[in-house]
């Protein structure tokens, strides 16, 4: 198969004609072979930074073509692949700590070398070829990245930045998310895996290299666990709680962005209809929003931020705190919209057809406890009762417009202690 320089892929516009060091008419197979050969020189310092960057960009296009099945009809490519995969595996295996430290930028003594960027692309292509992470993560320093990939199909694209504590906390977070949200949200339509990237760990001289190797992915700040904290709850929250770890706050928010497609893609439009109805009902008053500190003008303009904010920054931090806030607003000012949003969140977090909702509590160092809460629905499928450990039964009623009208008194003081 020949490369057409003018062939533009939808997802990468200009970058796709960037066969940097190649002339027109060069085959994809030789691009791959040359890039792998260049990667062999990373640990021996035989590759220049600009060449490593170009080889990485070339590999990025090869990966996307392979991911989309565009290379399946190329016998030349398919025949060459096993030997090239073996070479890639050997190269990644030979990346000892000395080599890793010598070429992994952008910080330290070796900024902008791009050797690690080329290795990242070898790793991604190897994942697509092997369909398992054994050869892609051969070294001990990637143990937790390998585990996260293996269990949750998420490639951590952090240029070796995250420390063990951060990676362990991320792994626990993914473990506590319901499977339907992994499947229909994070992984939806991803051929094999999604990526969690830290683009600032790759950027160099103010430029951010291309690292997208999946159709699904999200980016987080350049922060380790314990670096900073943030509280997503507004000042009228009863019995306020401590701020949450910022690495996890950002991860929860970005992951919750992936949940929009869960309700959007469902044949049953009940949840999507509810989101539209509640967004309209919330118009004009910040206090209708659980994340009222962000507010109505923002959410009306950026509807994709609603679930990310209210589930990512609050529900996944402390579910009962969100319940207390919602119930307090209803008791205090007769406003049932926040409580309706809370139940929308519970509904989205619950696997369809199941009677247990996950609650997340007692955040400490980025970690929460997950507690199962039994829910009961009415004949229209709306949640009418939650049986919350230590709080007892929380019951709600609805008005004619479908908004929550009443909630039992125990809701505004409900807490699940450690």
Give yes or no for a contact between 374 and 308, defined as CB atoms under 8 angstroms apart.
no
> Which of these ranges, 50-58, 94-102, 213-221, 298-306, lies near Zn ion under the rule CB under 5 A?
298-306
Tally of residues, the chain: 418
Among positions 63, 308, 373, 411, the unique one binding Zn ion when judged by CB under 5 A: 308
Helix, strand or coil for residue 341?
helix
Helix, strand or coil for residue 357?
strand
For Zn ion, the closer CB: 308 or 411: 308
Count the residues of the shown chain that bind Zn ion, applying the rule CB under 5 A.
2
Site for Zn ion in 102-161 (CB under 5 A): none
Helix, strand or coil for residue 56?
helix
Q: How far apart are alpha carbons 218 and 358 in whole angstroms?
A: 23
For Zn ion, the closer CB: 95 or 254: 254
Least distance in Å: CB of 349 to Zn ion? 18
> Which of these ranges, 40-48, 231-239, 299-307, 316-324, lies near Zn ion under the rule CB under 5 A?
299-307
For residue 157, what are the β-bridge partners?
197
- Report the residue number whose CB is nearest to Zn ion: 308
Cα–Cα–Cα angle for 233, 237, 241, nearest 5°? 65
Q: Write the binding mask 25 to 64 for Zn ion: x where contact by CB under 5 A, - elsewhere.
A: ----------------------------------------
Helix, strand or coil for residue 361?
strand
Site for Zn ion in 343-362 (CB under 5 A): none
Site for Zn ion in 191-220 (CB under 5 A): none
> Which of these ranges, 16-24, 36-44, 194-202, 302-310, lies near Zn ion under the rule CB under 5 A?
302-310
What are the CA-CA distances from residue 106 to residues 120, 226, 255 (Å)? 14, 22, 26
The backbone torsions φ and ψ at residue 359, rounded to the nearest 5 degrees and listed phi first, read: -110, 145
> Which of these ranges, 14-22, 100-108, 204-212, 301-309, lies near Zn ion under the rule CB under 5 A?
301-309
For Zn ion, the closer CB: 95 or 305: 305
For Zn ion, the closer CB: 308 or 391: 308
> Which of these ranges, 19-27, 157-165, 168-176, 306-314, lies near Zn ion under the rule CB under 5 A?
306-314
Least distance in Å: CB of 310 to Zn ion? 11
Give yes or no for a contact between 374 and 355, defined as CB atoms under 8 angstroms apart.
yes
Q: How far apart are alpha carbons 264 and 270 in whole angstroms?
A: 10
Angle between helices 337-349 and 319-333 (to 10 degrees): 160
Give yes or no for a contact between 209 and 198, defined as CB atoms under 8 angstroms apart.
no
Which two three-digit tokens encode residue 119? Answer: 């290795």
Least distance in Å: CB of 305 to Zn ion? 5
For Zn ion, the closer CB: 310 or 350: 310
Give yes or no for a contact between 388 and 374, defined as CB atoms under 8 angstroms apart.
no
Report the candidate in 148, 142, 203 with the shortest Cα–Cα distance to residue 171. Answer: 148
Terminal Cα distance for the chain, rounded: 60
For Zn ion, the closer CB: 133 or 312: 312
Least distance in Å: CB of 223 to Zn ion? 16
Q: How far is CA 333 from the centre of its chain?
A: 36
> Which of these ranges, 178-186, 305-313, 327-335, 366-374, lies near Zn ion under the rule CB under 5 A?
305-313
For Zn ion, the closer CB: 232 or 336: 232
> Which of these ranges, 58-66, 114-122, 194-202, 297-305, lies near Zn ion under the rule CB under 5 A?
297-305
User: Does residue 379 have a cis peptide bond before it, meaning omega lies within 30 degrees of 0?
Assistant: no
Q: Write the binding mask 248 to 287 for Zn ion: x where contact by CB under 5 A, - elsewhere.
A: ----------------------------------------
Place of tokens 């977090």: 349
For Zn ion, the closer CB: 32 or 249: 249
Residues that bind Zn ion (CB under 5 A): 305, 308
């Amino acid at each position: 198969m020949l490369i057409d320089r003018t062939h533009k892929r939808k997802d990468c516009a200009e970058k796709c004609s960037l066969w940097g060091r190649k002339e027109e008419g060069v085959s994809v197979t030789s691009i791959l072979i040359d890039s792998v050969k260049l990667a062999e020189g990373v640990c021996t310092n035989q590759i220049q930074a600009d060449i490593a960057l170009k080889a990485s960009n070339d590999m990025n296009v090869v990966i996307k073509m392979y991911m989309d099945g565009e290379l399946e009809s190329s016998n030349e490519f398919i025949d060459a692949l096993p030997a090239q995969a073996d070479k890639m595996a050997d190269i990644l295996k030979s990346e000892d700590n000395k080599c890793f430290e010598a070429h992994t930028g952008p910080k330290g003594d070796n900024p902008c070398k791009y050797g690690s960027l080329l290795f990242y692309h070898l790793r991604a292509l190897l994942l697509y070829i092997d369909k398992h992470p054994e050869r892609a993560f051969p070294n001990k320093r990637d143990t937790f990245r390998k585990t996260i990939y293996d269990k949750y199909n998420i490639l951590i694209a952090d240029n070796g930045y995250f420390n063990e504590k951060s990676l362990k906390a991320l792994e626990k977070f993914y473990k506590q998310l319901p499977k339907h949200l992994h499947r229909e949200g994070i992984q939806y339509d991803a051929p094999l895996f999604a990526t969690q990237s830290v683009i600032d760990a790759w950027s160099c001289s103010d430029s951010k290299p291309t690292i997208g190797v999946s159709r699904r992915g999200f980016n987080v700040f350049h922060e380790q666990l314990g670096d900073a904290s943030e509280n997503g709850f507004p000042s009228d929250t009863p019995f306020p709680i401590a701020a949450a770890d910022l690495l996890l706050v950002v991860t929860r928010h970005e992951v919750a962005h992936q949940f929009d497609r869960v309700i959007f893609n469902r044949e049953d439009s009940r949840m999507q209809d509810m989101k539209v109805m509640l967004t309209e009902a919330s118009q004009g008053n910040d206090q209708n929003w659980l994340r009222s500190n962000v507010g109505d003008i923002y959410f009306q303009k950026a509807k994709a931020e609603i679930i990310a904010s209210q589930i990512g920054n609050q529900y996944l931090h402390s579910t009962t705190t969100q319940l207390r806030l919602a119930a307090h607003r209803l008791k205090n000012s007769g406003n049932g919209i926040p409580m309706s949003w809370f139940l929308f969140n519970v509904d989205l977090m619950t696997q369809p057809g199941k009677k247990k909702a996950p609650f997340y509590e007692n955040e400490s160092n980025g970690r929460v406890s997950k507690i199962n809460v039994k829910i009961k629905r009415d004949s229209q499928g709306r949640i009418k009762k939650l049986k919350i450990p230590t709080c007892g039964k929380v019951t709600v009623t609805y008005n004619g417009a479908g908004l929550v009208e009443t909630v039992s008194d125990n809701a505004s003081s409900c807490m699940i202690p450690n």
